[in-house]
Structure 1
Amino acid sequence: MPPAPDAATLQVRAVTAADLAAIAALHSRARAAYHRARFPDAPFDVPAERARWHDAWSRDLERGDTPALCAARHGTVVGAASYRHRPGPRPAVTLHQLHVDPGHWGTGVGRALHGACLRDWHAAGVSRAALDVLWHNHRARAFYTRLGWRPDPDRRPAPDASHLTLTLDLGRAPAPGGR
């Protein structure tokens, strides 16, 4: 049973190097949870996976062009998100990662991280956001659909595709309230 939502105790802030181990662990747990239905015997939450994601998040922080946010409740990191600005004629971003520790699914962590990203994107004048979601991750697809994301009409998935590209038109989406 997830802990009761307590918005007052949830803090969304920039990721620091001190957060990397916690983010890698929750990223691995989240991947294991959403892959378990499709690949029941695959070892997704193991030390090698946590090391892989620690290195990936560390590289993102070092890049300087990949803002990363984390959500902490009572000082414990329970979610993380990162995005990259995309070049082009219209300012756009790709939501690169958004993961919530499975023990905190349904408690508002994902929505808080998403809202913080939206505020940053609106402030930067971004007009369009995109993300790729695993086709079989119905929970994530439903989450993004509730937040206004739609399948990208320019990138229809192939019949054997493992991912679905979703977009969000920020010109039409109202800016969320203050952080």
Structure 2
Amino acid sequence: MIRPVADGDARAIAELEVRAWRWAYVDVVPEEQMITVDARVARWQGRSAEGAYVAEVEGRVVGVVQVGPDGDDPEAGLLRGLNVEPAAQGAGVGAALYEHAVAALRTAGFATGVLWVFAANGHARGFYERRGWTPDGATGVAADAPELRYRKNLGT
């Protein structure tokens, strides 16, 4: 089941995000830049975020994603923070959250989507490329790791 983030989800989302980061980015993000449960709880606490969704299986949060306007290009919708429980990788949770997020961006009126992915994260890059996303040439750095921006026409 995919549903909007609720006020009581902060700890579950934070713990999920930390497990996902430690699984996916162990060779990408330096240890001192790894996210922590406390920091993520503070980020989510008391915030039933509009444009943020969780996937639940048997009442347990197993994935999270956020969408909204891109701060650099208000005409584009931003897909952000798609994280899935490592044990649920390959079970369709990420694909379901992704489809939900893209549908939410379309419903909000965005014809173009953007997202950022760590350059060294081949798994995520492949996931998005198989769905028609392509790097648009923009680069950045997050958590001391190089990132690439991807873009897609959401009408296709």
> Which residue in 2 is equivalent to 1:6?
none
Q: Per the alignment, in what secondary structure is the counterpart of residue 3 of structure 2?
A: strand
Which aligned pairs between 1:1-179 and structure 2 lie closer than 5 A? Answer: 11-38=1-28, 42=31, 49-58=36-45, 61=47, 66-86=50-70, 91-153=75-137, 155=138, 162-171=146-155, 173=156
Unaligned runs of 5+ in 2: none
Distance 1:87 1:19, change over 3 A: closer
Q: Per the alignment, in what secondary structure is the counterpart of residue 54 of structure 2?
A: strand
Q: Per the alignment, in what secondary structure is the counterpart of residue 23 of structure 1?
A: helix
TM-score for both structures, normalised by structure 1: 0.75
For 2:122 and 2:67, the matched residues in 1 are separated by 21
Distance 1:127 1:21, change over 3 A: same
1:7-58 Cα shifts (integer Å, max 9, x gaps): xxxx00100011111110010001101122346x83788xx70111122234
- Equivalent pairs counted in the alignment come to 154
1:94-140 Cα shifts (integer Å, max 9, x gaps): 11211001011111111111111111122222111111101111111
Q: Per the alignment, in what secondary structure is the counterpart of residue 43 of structure 2?
A: helix
Distance 1:156 1:42, change over 3 A: closer
One-letter amino acid matched to 2:41: H
TM-score for both structures, normalised by structure 2: 0.85
For 2:32 and 2:107, the matched residues in 1 are separated by 40
1:53-73 Cα shifts (integer Å, max 9, x gaps): 1222348x36x6x51000001
For 1:13 and 1:89, the matched residues in 2 are separated by 27
One-letter amino acid matched to 1:73: V
Q: Per the alignment, in what secondary structure is the counterpart of residue 93 of structure 1?
A: strand
Percent of aligned positions with the same letter in both sequences? 29
Q: Is the Cα–Cα contact under 8 Å of residues 70 and 114 in structure 2 kept in the other structure? A: no
Unaligned runs of 5+ in 1: 1-10, 174-179
